[in-house]
Structure 1
Amino acid sequence: MKILIAEDDEETAGFLTQGLREVGHVVSRAASGNDALFLATSETFDVMVLDRMLPGLDGLSVLKMLRAGGVRTPALMLTAVSRIVDRVEALENGADDYLIKPFAFSELHARLNVIARRPTPPETERSLNVMDLELDLQKRIARRGGRRLDLQPREFTMLEALMRNAHRVMTRTMLLEQVWDFDFDPRTNIVETHISRLRAKLNAGFEEDAIITVRGSGYMIRSE
């Protein structure tokens, strides 16, 4: 495997580099977060080891920037920080594994082999576009005609459901299941209430209604 080691401690970096090369891997080293970011975006690696406390950009910042830029190289965070909250933060921001110092080389090598064998996840969808409506799915931003809309999280999710099904009617039951994740209750008017609020925000300043009401059936996003 081709492995990137981002570690500023010379002794640890030398130990890892020598050990990984002895078992047949090609290793590149970075001693700072900036160097790690440069190498990870300019070369292709099978896996990378990121120390959490790198000079310049710290390891977590490097990881966030890589993931935001579409670099999906499997990453193992290596750190002396053992708090659960730090481990959770790293995993939620794109780390594939987390190993606390001090560590055994055999365990690190086994963990690298495991994350390198995992199937590459499908390309993350970044946006949805229907007519003059645009959703940035990563930043959770909605726009109509280039103008940013101030949507609540539930309103954004409802608009996303409508846009993903732009050529079909979304019934109340379907919206309840996709937006609220609970079964249909004929007594609730939660769908109508949220549709009304969403429609008001979408249509402010525009002549054409972005949401079509199909009487007796449900709702559609205007797609033509």
Structure 2
Amino acid sequence: MQVLIVEDDERVADLIRRGLEEEGFQVELAPDGLTGHRMAHAKTYDLLILDIILPRLNGLDLCQQIRKSQPEVPIMMLTALGTTDDKVEGFDAGADDYLVKPFDFRELFVRIRSLLKRHAKRPQEALLTLADLQLDQRTRTVWRAGQEIELTPKEFNLLEYMLLNQGRVLPRTEIADRVWDMPFDTGTNFIDVYINYLRKKIDRDFTPKLIHTKSGIGFILKEG
């Protein structure tokens, strides 16, 4: 497994590198965003780990640029920025997971293993539908009533999971675990924020409404 770590703190980068190499990964380091951008486009990696506060090109912009050419590569943000708004920005930029510094390497490794497993099992060339909503897992495009709808990578992943489980109430704890690969923090509302994003894009101007709230439990995707 080839991993690229884009991190300007040499101590942190070396700590992660040594830990992953002990687990059998092959690791390369980039000390700034532009170097990371060049390396990420020069070869294929199985995983990218990005800091956000980077010299020359910040991690959010780097993530967005990589996503344009490599929509499927797993990307983890590893940063000291830990507010709900910070996490939403990271996921909107295209990150698959987000871990806040300081961190325990054991948690980092478990998250990496889970992220790689999740991507390896992702079905290919499948069309998911509900009413006039269509989601193409191969091209990562979404249509409603014949109109293409632009979603961020994390919005797409959330809608994909809801379509795969349509007709079933999904608790916030399950969504956090399966879509964000993290425990649900009752002190944050980022899941509700993303549900609201989806509602505005796939429900607000269309009928029937497909996303429904089950008070005190979670959300369900169904027709009517």
Fold equivalence (TM over 0.5) = yes
The offset of 1:138, in angstroms, is: 5.1
Which stretch shows the higher mean deviation, 44-53 or 64-73? 64-73
Question: 1:47, 1:116 → 2: CA distance?
Answer: 8
Question: 1:181, 1:55 → 2: CA distance?
Answer: 47
Secondary structure in structure 1 of the residue aligned to 2:103: coil
The offset of 1:29, in angstroms, is: 0.6
The answer for the alignment partner of 2:208 in structure 1 is: 182
Secondary structure in structure 1 of the residue aligned to 2:108: helix
Distance verdict in 2 for CA 1:182–1:37, change over 3 Å: same
Question: 1:7, 1:71 → 2: CA distance?
Answer: 21
**2:138 maps to 1:122:** yes
The answer for the alignment partner of 2:65 in structure 1 is: 65
Percent identity over the alignment?
Answer: 35
Tell me, yes or no, if the aligned pair for 2:61 and 2:93 is still in contact at 8 Å.
Answer: no
* Count, aligned residues: 140
The offset of 1:113, in angstroms, is: 0.8
The offset of 1:126, in angstroms, is: 9.7
Listed one character per residue, the Cα deviations across residues 49-79 of structure 1 (whole Å, up to 9, x for unaligned) are 1001111110110001111223421011011
Listed one character per residue, the Cα deviations across residues 142-179 of structure 1 (whole Å, up to 9, x for unaligned) are xxxxxxxxxxxxxxxxxxxxxxxxxxxxxxxxxxx995
Distance verdict in 2 for CA 1:70–1:22, change over 3 Å: closer
Counterpart residue type for residue 60 of structure 1? L
Question: 2:57, 2:40 → 1: CA distance?
Answer: 13
Structural RMSD (CA): 2.6
Question: 1:126, 1:58 → 2: CA distance?
Answer: 29
The offset of 1:34, in angstroms, is: 0.6
Counterparts in 2 of 1:185-200, with a 5 A limit? none
Secondary structure in structure 2 of the residue aligned to 1:180: coil
Higher-Rg structure is: 1
Listed one character per residue, the Cα deviations across residues 22-47 of structure 1 (whole Å, up to 9, x for unaligned) are 11110011111011111111111111
Secondary structure in structure 1 of the residue aligned to 2:102: coil
The answer for the alignment partner of 2:19 in structure 1 is: 19
Tell me, yes or no, if the aligned pair for 2:141 and 2:148 is still in contact at 8 Å.
Answer: no
**2:136 maps to 1:110:** no
Secondary structure in structure 1 of the residue aligned to 2:208: coil
Tell me, yes or no, if the aligned pair for 2:99 and 2:108 is still in contact at 8 Å.
Answer: yes
Tell me, yes or no, if the aligned pair for 1:41 and 1:71 is still in contact at 8 Å.
Answer: no
Counterparts in 2 of 1:191-210, with a 5 A limit? none
Q: TM-score, normalised by structure 1?
A: 0.56
Secondary structure in structure 1 of the residue aligned to 2:106: helix
The offset of 1:136, in angstroms, is: 8.2
Structure 1, gaps ≥5 residues long: 128-134, 140-176, 184-224
Counterpart residue type for residue 206 of structure 2? W
Question: 1:80, 1:178 → 2: CA distance?
Answer: 35
The answer for the alignment partner of 1:74 in structure 2 is: 74
Secondary structure in structure 2 of the residue aligned to 1:8: coil
Counterpart residue type for residue 110 of structure 1? V
